[in-house]
Structure 1
Amino acid sequence: MEKPYWEGKHYAFFSNRECEYFPCHAGADPENFNCLFCYCPLYALGDKCGGNFRMTEKGIKDCTNCQLPHKAQNYGYVTGKYSELAELMRKMREAEKDTQE
């Protein structure tokens, strides 16, 4: 089986062991903790992100228990969602444009 194009590439994994919060999720494996997506780009996808989140009583998405973007093997999953993010942004721009007219 052929490896994904990004597997083993330095741009797909970064571990900041000197960060004051490293690793920032309880129970995470420090040897496999990817800091590249420190602030998850999938947050904006809401319940379609694929991660282990919960909604607070105030309706805020809480990703404390999610390690999806922090596992080295999930780089392809995260970057594979970029087209969904682009579509979401396109719809938001259209809606904003419509309200300005």
Structure 2
Amino acid sequence: MENSHRFFRNAECKYFPCHKVDDDSEFNCLFCFCPLYCLGPKCGGDFVMRGGVKDCSKCLVPHRLEGYDHIMKKLVAWFAECRKRAQQDAQAPEAADGE
């Protein structure tokens, strides 16, 4: 199957589909949990904050066919940002003892 690394459908999962959709034939289960949750408002998905908790129950970004590309693009950017911060931290002079 072409692009099989981008799509996985588990219709036998007891939670399938985990979001209400009109047609579950193209519901992608590859990202069963969204790896972009930790990005907060930078995730690009359809979420709301409820009492300080991110509610993604109406978001279908990870479950759409094009969701793979969106998620990979966001993760690549996030990893680059983390590497840049780590390099900056490694180059920063350490605070003197006792400060």
TM bucket, shorter chain:
0.7 to 0.9
What is the identity percentage for the equivalent residue pairs of Structure 1 and Structure 2? 45
Name the TM-score, length of structure 1 as normaliser: 0.75
Aligned residues: 90
Unaligned runs of 5+ in 1: 1-7, 96-100
2:20 maps to 26
1:11 maps to 5
Partner of 1:82, secondary structure, is helix
Distance 1:64 1:28 in 2: 15
Q: How does 1:52-91 map to 2 (within 5 A)?
A: 52-57=46-51, 59-87=52-80, 89-90=82-83, 91=85
Q: How does 1:87-98 map to 2 (within 5 A)?
A: 87=80, 89-90=82-83, 91=85
- Higher RCO, Cα 8 Å, sep 6+: 1
- Return the offset for 1:15: 0.3
Name the TM-score, length of structure 2 as normaliser: 0.76
Question: Larger Cα Rg: Structure 1 or Structure 2?
Answer: 2
Compare the two structures and name the one with the higher helix fraction.
Answer: 1
